[in-house]
Structures are given as C-alpha cells and as structure tokens.
Structure 1
Amino acid sequence: MAEVADMRGPEDTIAALRDGLPDGVLVTDPDVAASYAHDMANLCAAGRPAAVVLAETVEQVQHVMRVATRLRVPVVPQGARTGLSGGANAVDGCILLSLVRMDRILEIDPVDRVAVVEPGVVNADLSKAAGEFGLTYPPDPSSWETCTIGGNIGTGAGGLCCVKYGVTAEYVLGLDVVLADGELLRTGRRTAKGVAGYDLTRLFVGAEGTLGVVVRATLALRPTPPPALALVAQFDSTAAVGRAVAAVTAAGHVPSLMELMDATTVRAVNDLANMGLPAQTAALLMVAVDTPDPGPELAAIGRLCEEAGAFEVLAADDAEQSAMFLAARRLALPALERLGTGMIDDVAVPRSRLADMLDGVARIAEEHDTVIGVCAHAGDGNTHPIVIFDAADPAAAERASAAFGAIMGLGLALGGTITGEHGVGSLKRDWLARELGPVGVRVHQAVKAAFDPLGILNPGKVIAS
C-alpha cells in the first residue's frame, strides 16, 4: 500500500474540503479540532488532526473520502469516542470524520423486525424507539446511553446481556458503506435469511473504520423480553465461582445476564457505596433470568451456586430489587477509578478457564505491584481486568503497562483472545499479530489492501500495513 506520509499540507486539505461542505460542518480551529483527537483509552497516543468534519449526509462523507483519496490524506472515522482501545484517535494531519450528526432512525418495521438507522444514532435512543413497538435492540454496551450504533458496529461491541442475546455482529443485517475512494457499497439484506455472495457485512463489523465508513445500517430487532429477576451469589474462592459458572452452563441454563466481580472490585464497590458485602468475598456472581416465569429457574441456578461453594445466595423478589443488585456491577468501574487512573483490558477466555484467568490476574497484580480489579461477563468468559495506577508516577505507569500486556499474554495462553468486545485500535495492534499468527496477518493485510490500497482509512489501527 502507498504510504500516507505522501499527503499534502493541511492548508490543501482544508481548502479541498471546504469546496464541497456547507457552513458549520468543517472545523479547522486547532484547539477545537484537538478536542476530538482521542477516545477514552488511557495512554494511547493521539496525533494533531488537520480538520474535523461533522458530516450530516452520505454525500458529505463521500466528498471527504474523495478529497482524502486525491490528496492521500488519512481519515479517522469517529462516533461518540467512547471506545477503549484508541481506535478513534487522530493521526497527524488527518481528517477526523465525525458521524454523530448522522443520527436519524430512518425506519422501524415491526413485521420484519428491523430498524434502519444512521451511524450516529445513540444505542439507548434506538432501544427506546424500538420499545414503542414492543421490540428491543439487544446489544447493550456499558456506555449504551452515549455510544453510537456506528461505533458499536466498528468495534463489534457487546454488553451485559450478550450471554443470552449475543453481540452486535449478530444483529447487523446490512450496511451502506462509503469506500476509500468515495464509492457507496451496499451489503447484506433485510430478510431473515440470505446467503448470496460473500458475507461482506460481517467483514465491516469490527473493522474499526479501516475498510470503509458505515453510513447506514439495517439491524435486527427482537421482541422485548419480560422483566428480569436476579440473584447474587458470594464465594470465598475463585475456584468455587468458576465451578458455579461451569455448572450453570452445563445444566443448560441460558440466563439473560451472568456477571462477576473479583475481591478487589467488591472491596472498591463496598468503599464507594457501603453495600455491606462480607470481607471474605473472593468473588461475587450476579445472574438474571428473563423468562415469563423466572422464579423456578433462578432457584435452580441458586442451588447450583450453593453446590459449587457459594456461602451466600440472595434472590430478588421483584424487578426493582433485581435492579438494586445489578447497581453494584454498574458501580464497579467508577469505584475502581476512585483509586487512580484505569486501563481497562478486555480479554475473553473459555468459560472453563475463568477461574484460571482470575487467579492469573491476581498473580500478575502481585508481580507488578499494581492494583487490578476484574469484572467479567462470566456467561461468555469475557473478562475486564482494570489496571489501576498513578498516572503522575512514571514507574507506576510502566508497571501498569507491563501488567496490561501480561494479562493479554495470559488470555492467549488460556486459549482466549485479546479482545472480546472493545476492539483492537492502536492499543492492541501488536498483540493482534501474536494472536493471528503470520498467515492470519498476511490475509488481514491483503483484505485491507483490497479495500484501502492507499492506506488512508484509520491508519495505524487494527493491523499493520
């Protein structure tokens, strides 16, 4: 691929962009542009953009890509910048292409159970709109109240309810994508079934804007489930909670949510919210069931937890009490971040290796003299070790970075993956090469070259060119 370094100066870029954009869409003030330069990933470098385009139409996105191709200028597509891997971070001299103003829900069809949306639609807004038809859009990232559908598609986002309802890729039926040269590609379908041609739709999901810019999506919807009923089980060892997760799965239960917090996280939540959780809690497991009659199944899951070694199991009586239980899980990140700067890892392992992952992270924390709290989507093995450190202390930051890498190495050693839902971005690009191996890297590079021969789409992210 040609080097992006061949690009012209920012003045040429700005002049060419201005020729095809209305007032209020192009941002050239350096200080304002710099405020768009990074997502929420700590310690990921961000460059200085030449300009920001707050695109409002497909035609404006096409104009940006035609200018970028002609001048060989890098383009970094962005949603709400809630990502945690540096995938939306600027590179020097780039055009930051923000899609948050393309925020229309174009259609909700209750018969076909699909929604057609622009990429800037906020996840929660889609869920609310679908709810008026008795439908729901299941993927629910923790930032669902602010993150956008385009960003969710770019990273292949997951969420708390993925154990039962799956991740973003399973709900994207079709896409409109502006390619590197400005052409508009339509992929997929809106029918319930369809296997015509290569599955290009899945190729763009999780590609983090490195292959094209998503400007419209056709998404599958599901009937709104009944209110969930939850329980909390407390364990005095990681081995016991690992047995419980395995037992629930092996027994055929499909809870709508199965979340775990380790001892470090439990203590942090206790300190923040004074929830009175016992000091001996080594792991806390939250399980929710959203069937029409959840009581019997929840009771059966509770018995499995007790048989696995839970010293206390408390089941909610109603949806309101269930929400109170789950509030502890939602407090996990803010509770840990009170202790210092957080680097959030995103390593998924087989469910059978969950206890090994927890024990391994505890060893890594001790070896690197670093605080690490773990939250996990236990039902699918997706763990989120959160490395806490003092960003003002270079030695602490170095230890934290080493611990972060060691966690990814541990995940791979346990047969897992370096990212279950946050994406690769710039943060994990080198680790992706280790996971893929040389043949996998070569195939990724070939796909990238086919869609983006000049290497202008989100360069430096996901895969090395």
Structure 2
Amino acid sequence: MIMSRIEAARDETTGNLLDRLLAGLPAETVLTGPDVTASYANDMASFCESGAPAVVVLPRTVEQVQHVMRTATDLRVPVVPQGARTGLSGAANASDGCIVLSLTKMDRILEISPVDRIAVVEPGVVNATLSRAVGEHGLYYPPDPSSWEMCTIGGNIGTASGGLCCVKYGVTAEYVLGLDVVLADGRLMSTGRRTAKGVAGYDLTRLFVGSEGSLGIVVRAVLALRPQPPQQLVLAAEFPSASAACDAVCRIMEGGHVPSLLELMDRTTVKAVNGIAHMGLPETTEALLLAAFDTPEPGADLAAIGALCEAAGATQVVPADDPAESELLLQARRLSLTALEAVKGTTMIDDVCVPRSRLGELFAGVERIAEKQGLTIGVVAHAGDGNTHPTVCFDATDPDESRRARESFDEIMALGLELGGTITGEHGVGILKKEWLAREIGPVGLEMQRAVKAVFDPLGILNPGKLF
C-alpha cells in the first residue's frame, strides 16, 4: 500500500528524487501525498510564506539522514530540517520542491549520566520528556520554552531557545556540550565534548546552536545537566502600571537577587488568560509580576523580593503557600500566548530583548504603538533578562487589520533596536526577521555570516531563504 502511494506520486520532476531516496530508505519513512506533505509546510509563525514540499522524509537513523543529504547534494535539491514546528519565525517553513527532513522519529534518549551530569539525546526528543527522564535521576535540564510539552531538543538547538528559567539558569546554548552533525554533503562531523571543560579549536558547537538548520543537520546532542533544585515557590505582585513593575525588576536585579523565574504580564495578557482559563487573576491590575525562588529557604527570598515590589509601588504582594499554588501561577504564564491568540484568532508574536534598565521604555513604547494602530497588543516578558514578547492580536481575514498588525510588529522591532536591544532573544530569525537581522548586524556582519554559510553549505541547499 505504501509503495503504491509512492508510485502514484511520481512525475517528471520528482520521480528521480523519489527513486534515489527509496534506494536507501525504508518506504514508510518517505511521505509523498500532497495532503500529507502540505501539513509539513510551515511552523506557527504568521506572515511567513511557505512552499510545497516535493517529499517529506522521517528518518530514524543517522545513516538515513546521511543518505538524504547525499541525495540532495547530488540532485541539488533543497532540504528543510524540522522538529515539532512550534517555531514562531518561519524557520521550519518548506520551500517549493524541497525535501522536508522531519527529525521527530529520532526521539531516543541514548544516555543519562549522573556522574558526568550529561544526557545524550537524538534531536526528536521532546523537551518535557527529557526533563522528566533526567528528573528520575535527581537531575535537571533547565531550558524550558513555553512549548516544552511539544517542542523538540533539535528545534531548541536550532533556534537557541530560552524559557522561563533563563534569568537564573541561562539558555539552550549554555547546555549544549557537543553535537553530531550531518553536513550538506552527507559527511558526519562531531563537535565539542562530553567533559566539563574543553577548549580544543574553534567552538563549532556554539556555531550550530541557533543556526536554524542552515549549516547542518543535528542528529545527536550531548547536553549538560544540573542537580535537581528544590521545588520553587512563586510570589505574585500587582502593580498600578507597567513602569512600576519594571522598576521593581530593576530593584530586584540591582539588589543581587537570583530568582529562578521573573516573569511579567500586562493587563491585556492577564485578561486574556482569565478569558480562556477562568483562573481568577486580578484583572484590575495594570501589570502582574511573578517571581520565584528554588533555594533551600525560598520564603526569606520571597519576603525580600516582596519588600522591593512594595517599595516600587506594588498594590498587593501575594506569596504562594505551596508548590501546587506556585504551579498554578506558572500555568497562567504558560497560557499567555495561547490566550492572546484567542482574542482575535491570529497573533504576531514579537521577540525583542532589551537591557533590563530599559524594559519600562519598551512597555511604554508598545502601548503607544497599540494606541496608534488601533490594535490589541499584549506583552509578556521574561523580565529578568529583558526578553519581551509583545503579541499583536488581529483578524487575519481583515486586510487592513493585517496590514496594521505587520506595521506594529516592525515598529516594535525598531523600538527594540533603538533601546539598545536585539530583534530576537530566543525565537530566531527564520523568514520573519530577515530584513531586521541585516539592520541589526550591518553589512560587514551580514557578509561574514554569509561566508560562514558558504563554507558549510556551498550549494545553498540547507534551509534556503532563512536568516538572510
């Protein structure tokens, strides 16, 4: 049955490609039906064009990935690597006639070492699955994107993703010790190490982290782990303005505190979360700050943070009584982007990161942009590291509203650069922000990045049209 579907899909343009792929792949790993391939055409970003894949391949082994890349090189066919397609920049979007290389079936945890504090995994392992698995050994993998129940480690590496815990534990790049990468021509290269230290040669591991599948296909990763910290307790503080909440963030960081989480939700976001989850969050507040500590005595830390919040003008400070109540508050934060999408049906999620000292200016600027464009824009932020997610809500069936949404998105990115920030803190560039990457890094930076790309992918077949 599988072979008959593949035979039916052959035509002049794809027949040779399918024959070459099937010469080294099991038939069940090759998908060709137009309805099926169309379902792999894009990730979750708005305003990002996508093409029609010629074929989707779901390899299960490194050797199968190598065969795909050798075939693609021989036939000069573009290859678009994908994970769970939860990305928000179009980095996983297909191009016309490409091979979509979906790595979700390479989902084995190969090793967990409590002594070396590492995990060795394939790229299709889901972030939450890894977190739970290492937790059984008393270990902790900190990077936790909001989509952690769906997103894969390979995708996290491709976009150098972050998460709620970054303020204390850092982002994905800080936990990737080594990689096995299939290059564009099918060769297998190992980078990095599995030791705690290592400075041999150029740091090619870091080069691949955040490269969005444009330099090679990650097929194995050695990840650093930490000891499992105590369960964190969360404090919620209500503020009469976003500027007061941002002032509290500055006081907390200036005071030398190291919260495990410091998240900020504006009034629009709080109302949206209540709308879909009926969580009873305080809709009268203009900003809600969530702070957490996973220290042995979190109560004392939360009390100190609470005092700083009150000094900054908080109208109410409520520490959670136990981990269950804390988790409920964190669930509200994790629901933010889903809730904002429900406001109008479609969202454009920005990813501007600014210095913490200018966080208040970013919030104020976004409010002005929303008023000017006549749109609802909710802002959630990893406030502890200045990474904000202004989320433009709009009706995609309304051309004028869609135009204003895109204009708002661009104005927010311009504002971020004006404030000394960056166009993306954790979502990546993909298709959505190509123009803005050029503005941020300048012509010389762009020339050097293109030169690096040419070394690893001289034919330009790996994820073409992304980044620049």
The alpha-carbon deviation at position 43 of structure 1 amounts to 2.1
Q: Is 1:307 paired with 2:311?
A: yes
Q: Is the 8 A contact 1:155 1:421 kept in 2?
A: yes
Provide the rounded CA distance (Å) in 2 between the counterparts of 1:248 and 1:437.
34
Equivalent position of 1:418 in the other structure: 423
Alignment map for 1:271-282 (pairs within 5 Å): 271-282=275-286
TM-score by length of 2: 0.96
Equivalent in the alignment of 2:135? 131
Partners of 1:22 and 1:400 in 2: CA distance: 45
Q: Matched residues in 1 for 2:53 and 2:327: separation?
A: 42
1:72 lines up with 2:73 in the alignment: no
Matched, 1:190 2:194: yes
Structure 2 counterpart of 1:363, which letter? R
Aligned mates of 1:58, 1:274 — CA distance in 2: 46
Amino acid at match of 1:330: R
- 2:233 alignment partner, one of 224, 229, 235: 229
Please give the alpha-carbon distance, in whole angstroms, between the structure 2 residues aligned to 1:31 and 1:268.
Answer: 34
1:290-369 alignment runs, 5 A limit: 290-340=294-344, 341-369=346-374
Cα deviation for residue 314 of structure 1 reads 0.6
294-303 or 233-242: which moved more?
A: 233-242
In the TM superposition, residue 273 of structure 1 has moved relative to its aligned partner by: 3.8
Q: 1:196 to 1:372 in 2, by over 3 A?
A: same
Q: Match of 1:162?
A: 166
Percentage of identical aligned residues: 69
Query: 2 CA distance for matches of 1:381 and 1:366?
Result: 23
Q: What do the CA deviations read for 1:76-111 (whole angstroms, capped 9, x no partner)?
A: 000111111100100000000010000111100100
Which amino acid in structure 1 is aligned with residue 53 of structure 2? Answer: P
Q: Following the alignment from structure 2 to structure 1, what is the Cα–Cα distance between the partners of residues 99 and 29?
A: 12
Q: Which residue of 1 aligns with 2:388?
A: 383
8 A contact 2:173–2:209 mirrored in 1? yes
Letter in 2 for 1:456: I
1:275 positional shift: 4.2
Which residue pairs with 2:122 in the alignment?
118
> Once the 2 structures are TM-superposed, how far is the Cα of residue 125 of structure 1 from its aligned partner?
0.9
Shift of 1:326: 2.0
- Counterparts of 1:426 and 1:26 in 2: how far apart (Å)? 26
Q: Which moved more, 1:15-24 or 1:69-78?
A: 15-24
1:452 corresponds, among 444, 450, 457, to 457
Which residue type is aligned with residue 388 of structure 1?
Answer: C
How far, CA to CA, are the matches of 1:239 and 1:259 in structure 2? 14
Shift of 1:280: 4.0
Task: Single out whichever of 225-234 and 323-332 deviates more from structure 2.
Answer: 323-332
- Cα deviation, 1:160-206, whole Å, max 9, x if unaligned, reads 11111110000000000000000001000000000000000000000
Pairwise CA distance, 1:366: 1.1
1:281, CA displacement in angstroms? 1.4
Are 1:63 and 2:31 an aligned pair?
no
**How many Å separate the matches in 1 of 2:406 and 2:295?**
43
After superposition, residues 241-256 of structure 1 pair within 5 angstroms as: 241-256=245-260
1:20 to 21, 24, 35: 24
Could you tell me how far 1:274 is from its partner in structure 2? 4.0
Offset at residue 237 of structure 1 (A) = 1.4
**Conserved in 2, the CA contact under 8 Å of 1:14 and 1:50?**
no
Q: Kindly indicate whether the alpha-carbon contact (under 8 Å) linking 2:243 and 2:363 is maintained by their aligned counterparts in 1.
A: no
Which amino acid counterpart does residue 73 of structure 1 have in structure 2?
A: V
* 1:440 partner amino acid: G
Query: In the TM superposition, what is the alpha-carbon distance from 1:278 to its structure 2 partner?
Result: 4.4
* CA–CA separation in structure 2 for the residues paired with 1:309 and 1:218: 45
2:76 corresponds to 1:47: no
Counterpart residue identity of residue 438, structure 2:
A
CA distance in structure 2 between the aligned counterparts of 1:331 and 1:151, rounded to whole angstroms: 21
The code of the aligned residue for 1:355 comes to G
Deviation digits for residues 264-285 of structure 1 (CA, Å, limit 9, x no counterpart) = 1122223334444445411110
Structure 1 unpaired stretches of 5+? 1-7
Query: In the aligned structure 2, how far is the partner of 1:283 from the partner of 1:163?
Result: 19
Contact 1:428 1:462 in 2 (8 A): yes
Q: Which residue of 2 aligns with 1:403?
A: 408
TM-superposed CA distance for 1:13, in Å, is 1.6
The residue number in structure 2 matching 1:4 is none
Instruction: Look up the equivalent residue of 2:237 and give its one-letter code.
Output: A
SS at structure 2 position matched to 1:348: coil
Provide the C-alpha distance between the structure 2 equivalents of 1:274 and 1:98, rounded to a whole number of angstroms: 37
Letter in 1 for 2:100: L
- CA-CA distance at 1:349 after TM superposition: 0.5
Size of the alignment, in residue pairs? 456
Secondary structure of 2:97's aligned partner = coil
In the TM superposition, what is the alpha-carbon distance from 1:375 to its structure 2 partner? 0.4
Query: In the alignment, is residue 433 of structure 1 matched against residue 438 of structure 2?
Result: yes
Q: Unaligned stretches of 5+ in structure 2?
A: 1-11
| TM-aligned CA deviation for residue 369 of structure 1 | 1.3
Matched, 1:96 2:100: yes
Deviation at residue 136 of structure 1 after TM alignment:
1.1
Alpha carbons 1:239, 1:355 under 8 Å: kept: yes
> How big is the shift at 1:320?
1.3
Counterparts of 2:193 and 2:282 in 1: how far apart (Å)?
Answer: 52
Aligned to 1:5: none
**Alignment partners' CA distance in 2, 1:296 and 1:95:** 55
How far apart are the structure 1 equivalents of 2:283 and 2:82? 43
Q: Which of 201, 213, 221 is equivalent to 1:209?
A: 213
Closer/same/farther in 2, CA of residues 57 and 276 from structure 1, 3 Å limit: closer
Contact 1:228 1:322 in 2 (8 A): yes
Classify the secondary structure of the residue corresponding to 2:28: coil
RMSD: 1.1
**Could you tell me how far apart the structure 1 residues matched to 2:283 and 2:466 are?**
42
CA distance in structure 1 between the partners assigned to 2:205 and 2:355 by the alignment: 26
Q: Compute the TM-score of the two structures, normalised by the length of structure 1.
A: 0.96
